[in-house]
Amino acid sequence: MKLISTSILVLFLYLLVTGQNERAIQKFNLHVHVNEVYPSGDSNLGHYPILWYDSQDAKVLVGGFGLGVSYQSQLKNQFYLRSKLDIQRSRYYDQPTIFNDANGASLGAFFGVNTSYSIHVSALPSIAFGAKSRWSFALGAGARVVLSSISDYGESFINGEQTALKFKRRAQAPVIAYCASRIRFNIGKLEFSTGLDADFTNASRLSTQKEKFYIWQTGIAHKL
């Protein structure tokens, strides 16, 4: 697994460096997107909606989003390489914990909301197709560096005081490699895209936790 991860990272860095030598068609793009994390490998983790209204707690749930820039160069005919840099917020429901008082009486299950901020770099070889080459499909690799990860369990009475239960979560791996796929559609200077980032290294750095994330993202880009 480590060998595969290393090989893909090396390939990704190679593409990132060598791709920039092709100067036939170069395009900078500005991206904004929304994302949703689908955890796997731990059935107690859950996905957090991109945008939803929680009528029980009467609050709006705002999930993941991000923005970034990309640089696209033509490799050959319909083949392109896009190098992308994103900053992203992503959210998911952490494993629920059952709060109990000192006598063991249950106070209910609390769902921690995990909010992570990360920087993503990716290299996406793409192929354009369809009428006027408006469509393109990309499959590549990337890595995200987790800058901050916070679990929020809301507030609870601890020793008679209302206490905010918000913790920095360092259980998340600081660098996670992933496989990225995108399908895109171009109209004029705008580009719509949707795709999936699938982790191939563990999202947790704890040796016993084996969760991996699938991050679905959809967004819009503007050619600069």
Residues at the contact surface with another protein, assessed by CB under 8 A: 38-40, 42-47, 93-104, 109, 112, 137, 151, 153, 156, 158-159, 163, 165, 167-171, 181, 183, 194, 196, 198, 205-209, 214, 216
Minimum separation from the CB atom of position 99 to another protein (A): 5
Task: Give CA–CA dist 117/220, Å, rounded.
Answer: 20
User: Which lies closer to another protein via its Cβ, residue 41 or residue 71?
Assistant: 41
Minimum separation from the CB atom of position 111 to another protein (A): 8
User: Which lies closer to another protein via its Cβ, residue 15 or residue 37?
Assistant: 37
Minimum separation from the CB atom of position 221 to another protein (A): 19
Element (H, E) at 37: strand 26-40
Q: Cα torsion at 79, 144, 12, 141 (round to 10°)?
A: -50
Minimum separation from the CB atom of position 148 to another protein (A): 13
User: Which lies closer to another protein via its Cβ, residue 38 or residue 117?
Assistant: 38
Minimum separation from the CB atom of position 185 to another protein (A): 13
Q: What tokens appear for 8 in the block?
A: 């893909």
Task: Give CA–CA dist 147/200, Å, rounded.
Answer: 19
Contact 2, 8 (CB under 8 A): no
- Residue 27 pairs in a beta bridge with 72
Rounded to 5°, angle at Cα 146 from 141 and 151: 130
User: Which lies closer to another protein via its Cβ, residue 71 or residue 111?
Assistant: 111
Minimum separation from the CB atom of position 140 to another protein (A): 15
Task: Give CA–CA dist 213/101, Å, rounded.
Answer: 33
Task: Give CA–CA dist 74/171, Å, rounded.
Answer: 40
User: Which lies closer to another protein via its Cβ, residue 21 or residue 159?
Assistant: 159
User: Which lies closer to another protein via its Cβ, residue 25 or residue 107?
Assistant: 107
- Nearest alpha carbon to residue 217 among 146, 149, 138, 152: 138
